[in-house]
Structure 1
Amino acid sequence: MKKFVLAVVCAQLLQPWLVSAQQQTTSGVKTDISVQTSVDPDFTARQLQLQQARQQGDLALADALATQYLTAAEQQADLLQMGQAYHELGNNAMARNDYPLAKQHLEQAVSLLTQNNEQNGDAKPLAAALRRLGMVYRYQSDYSTALDYVYRAMQIYQLLQDQAEIANSYGSVGTILEKMGQYEAALQAHQQELEYYARQGKSSDMASVLFNLANLNHKLGDPAKALQYYLQVMQLDLASGDKRNIAYSHNKLAFLYTDLGQLDKAGEHIRQALQLFAEIGAKRDLDWARTVEAKLALANGKPQQARQILDAVIQRATERQYLSLLVDAYELAATVALQQQDDAAAMVYINAGIAQAKQNHEQGREAKLQQMRVTLLLKKDDAPAALAALLAQKQLDDEIFNSKRAAAIAAIQAQTDYTSQQYQIERLQHEKDLQQARLEQQKLTRNFWIYGLLAGFVLLISLYRRYLQHRQNLALEHQVNVRTAELQQKNTELALAYQQLETISLTDKLTGLSNRHFLESHIDKELELCRRQWHDWQQHHNRLEAADRVSMPEHSELAVFLIDLDHFKQLNDQHGHHAGDDVLRQVKQRMQQVFRQTDYLVRWGGEEFVVVARQINRAEASQLASRFVTQVAATPFMLAAQQPLAVTCSVGFACYPLPLDKDPGRHFETLLKIADCCLYAAKHSGRNGWAGLTDISPDLPLLPAHLCAEKLQSWQQQGLLQLVHSFARLQWPPLARQ
């Protein structure tokens, strides 16, 4: 102990020399310094002012302030403030329920804030914009994309160790999982949110957690527990003074009290909700509250009043494109009409609701309306129509099950990516700590030479400290290895499970080829790649002089082939379905002999197959079609316990890029329709051959709904498109196939 004290005293005496030496030896070393971004008080004041205006429901003022904010930021070319201005514009759009506009503003905010983070290392504003954009996707029912954005935001907050925002991110994850129907996972996410708030002692942030827990308990059939939570949320909202949140709580309480039969209390709350939504100008939320008002009127025995309210809501929702709310209104209006014994009106509402739910891709709502339709048709003794509606409902139930399975896979993938990246962050932090330890060790080594007068004593102390450090490093390394091995094992198990689920859902059981769902999940990316390469070349091509222009890059196009086995129904009728299955399985082998491993080989349905040949020149498409037709016809198909069977096929194809309509989301549908028309022409020309479209005039209106064999024939005769085929003369039918 005395030796240690003596060493400390000596070190203090030599401290000036030590500081001087350290300044000299570290002058050429790059240190890790946290960059602090200066905050302009003027921008901060603008942001607080517009947030206050939005909270008070004055969205016109909030828009004006946000526009001024953006103009000032653009004048100073400040990426951070420009990004935050677009973020505020997105928040204003969300307050009006204008989600397409909110998405546009927030995507611009993410782009600007990403650039700012790369230049200045300021990641927190980027994380806030990412999480907000995720919630926009949640309101548009794109839950897998929503989870992806929220997890990206959470990774940044984990890196910044921002406990409050980590808690908020868990709340967003729970809300999205609830919308996906994964209530257990949603409860776990909200539990994580509660734990983070508990660590910080932030009771003021509990309102959103309690609101979400109330929703979950209501959906899980515990209205009493839900009511307890909603009342607590109302007290917190009233204390905060946020009109929108207060209006939401009043509306939820009105809905719950109506279900509980406490109609007087429900009436008080719905009046408050209607008044507040009108004050803040939230038109969509105001009509949402009116549907609760109609539900209350029905419970009070006033079906005619309820119907008048709902008819007005339906009219406004149709005009303003409140599509999800429109389905709610149709469903409740049908219930009111059924209570009034107005079966004809009820059927009109049900059919309209089914059509709108189908357009919204809200399969659960569509199935519920189909169930109401079945009940009404049975009441009318229309058994055939009731059976058809029941079959449609069963098909929807099957599709809902498959959609939930796909959503679960997407959620697992997002969680896997997040866990993997968290592990990378922890590993980088560990490496940073080790690097810091090495720097400290270097300082100790330099100090050793400064203390020349105490060389022997300091040497012993240094060796002893290094020995302790070595033991500590060994223990730490052992702990890291154990944790790393456990994490790798869990990641491996999760990856295998996901791979098995993905393989089952994307593969045709009979042939082992990819199925329609696989192609629909991947084709848009392939078309976008071709379209982007063509666009880049076209821009470069137009900027050059005629003598300097170059041709389209090699292997930058694709072709979509539609293959159909000839007389396949006769084959099944004459030789049995087992023989047909054998032929379909052998078609896969012949496809693999002609097309490449990188091409998409898909069983489209029945005896139809689709092939997407990627990264080719369009001139090669006819060669591939000819080779495949020859490959199928050249060798008989081997059948179990039967003689070999000769089979032929017909092929129609379309090349890409083409000058199609401006909506890229419909390009694949258009290409498939063109290939189908070409296939139909090949069938009519004698089968065992191929036909395809390689180019078209940019003036043709190629919309999927307007394409047919008649139009292709007419355009070919006018010289507006280029068709190639393997027949002596391409024969067209007198009428197009419907």
Structure 2
Amino acid sequence: MILLQWNGVQFKSLSNFIALVFCVFVSTQLFASEVVTTNITEVPVTLPQVYETYSYEEKVDWLKQAIDNSKSRDNIYRLTTELVFQYDLNNETELIRSTCQSLPPESKDLDYRLLCVTAHVDNDETKLKTLVVLQKDALEADNIRVAAESSSTIAWIYSSFGEIEQAFRNYEIALPLAEYANIYLFNDVTLNLATLYIVHGDSEYVEKGISLMLDAIERVNNLLLDDPSASRYVENTLARIHFNLGIANTFHRTNYPQALHYFGLIDPELTELRQSVLVFSSLAYAELNNFEESKALLAQSFQVPSSQTFNSDYLKCYQEVIKVKLDDSTEIEQCHLLSESTSVEVQQDLLKRMIDAEHAELSLIGLQKLYSLYINSLLPLLKQNSGKSASRTELTRLQQESRLKGELINKEKALTAAEQEKLASQSNLTIAIIAVFILLLLMVVLQLRQKQKLADQFAQMSLFDKLTGLNNRHYFEQNIKREMRFVKRAIEGDRYTPIAIYLFDIDHFKNVNDTYGHDVGDEVLIEFARRINEAIRDSDMFIRWGGEEFLLVARLFELDDYYAIAERVRGAISDTEFELENMLKLKVSCTIGSVIFPSSPEDDLTRPWDQLVKLADNALYMGKRQQRDCWVCVDKVIAEENFSLVLSQDLEDSIKDNLVEVTHSIKEFDRS
């Protein structure tokens, strides 16, 4: 008879044991399922449609009022997390800290936990412990962004402790995660890693870090092509890269012309970096013996304010070192006051320049502070690394000893187990294997269902344009073939029910962005989408095609609807002014190009949809060239063999060559 034991309880019957395990497993899964469905972090906060049009202050006021009026704890929590995210977008660290204290995050709310950790924890050691736990939870939950940000921050803290090996290990975790999460996070992690290479690496790794930064410049510039609203991020990130490249060439390469090149690329209006750029540029010119330019930049550096986001007091010592090199002054008071909290990289460069200066007292101060740096920073780090090496050796020895003991114990256990296995019944083993297989199968099925649910949610999110709330181009590509099949079925049933594809483009939209800014441009796009939605039918497919272009697919049950829809949309946009935020009123119009498919039941029904969109685009641009605030509807391409030629040239040329039939609302059509 086999005796089974679980949590201290013995079972004489194998079937009783299997039944208990099965019940516990199913109960656990059902309970877990209930917890998931009632988890308040999985239900999004309900916000009004106009919320995205609010300014930062309006969003904060609305959220605070909604929190005060809410009686549901779950709803208060969701509204509060949204409030904290708004604080984060506006760098309100103190407000984040106080909010996290009054309403701590739920354990499963990883995004909120990350904000609270970075804002609330006072010292790096405590922050490191908290981030390690958060990193583990994020990896288990497949939250790629939080896992990447946690790993990157952990790496940077380790590097500040001098734990370079640990820093690199965490960057190895963060880098692939960040690339999968989003391009902004990937850029930040890459730049932090590149900086670590430059600061702590040998000459080979300095070059590797510089190479990573140069690659990042191209990647950041490409962001503007995909997302014009990212201009502020691109400007700040490029300034950070150019500054770090300038420092790398000053401190590590001593390539002063190259350093000046990168410092010169930084916008003088970026006040946080301006004083540093002027001081290090003056230093570079002094090293190149261009004393006149060095003096001019040094004088400017005294006129601009210091940085408010990081401690730059060490620049005062650099200013004195430069003055000594220029024979402009012998005062060295600020170098006496150089703080030991200044980064090791800066201290090493600055102390070397002080020691090499042709000024006896300044050289002596440099030597004294270099000795202090060695005693207080470098020596403890060397001992720490030596201790770690010894600890790793001792750990290896203990593991070896434990392994040898374990082998003897395992041999004894194996002999005992072999004797017990002789008494086991083959049928009981078969039943146990089947039971375990069933349990594993249930676990796999439940996990697959959960992952499929998440995949469906992500797929649904990918079909919408966040700004306007419309479906996007991806949604159109998934559904246009359904509309074309509808046309074919109708013709096969002796019913001619064509579809029309319309392209709308907002006239002079670039002028709106350039004159009033991208926020007003976004308001125009939202209002544009709203007006067209009110002018069309619920059954029509209306999407944002990209930028200021929109696309509409409409089924035509009457041919007269082809032109009526175009005129109705045009009037909906241009007949009344757009009333926007801050009492701003704008006259907005749009140009429309469209094509009908098929133009007759005898037309080619296998025409690819992208050729139809291209033809509508040609019609749109004819309207742009001729007048704007009008519509151009392509009625028919005269012969199928002409279709490629019509797509390849301006529509005016095709009209002149009698290749197409067109109806339009252009008042004075220029045929030349």
Scaled to the shorter chain, the TM-score interval is 0.3 to 0.5
**Greater percentage in helix:** 1
Question: What TM-score, normalized by structure 2, do the two folds share?
Answer: 0.44
Question: What TM-score, normalized by structure 1, do the two folds share?
Answer: 0.40
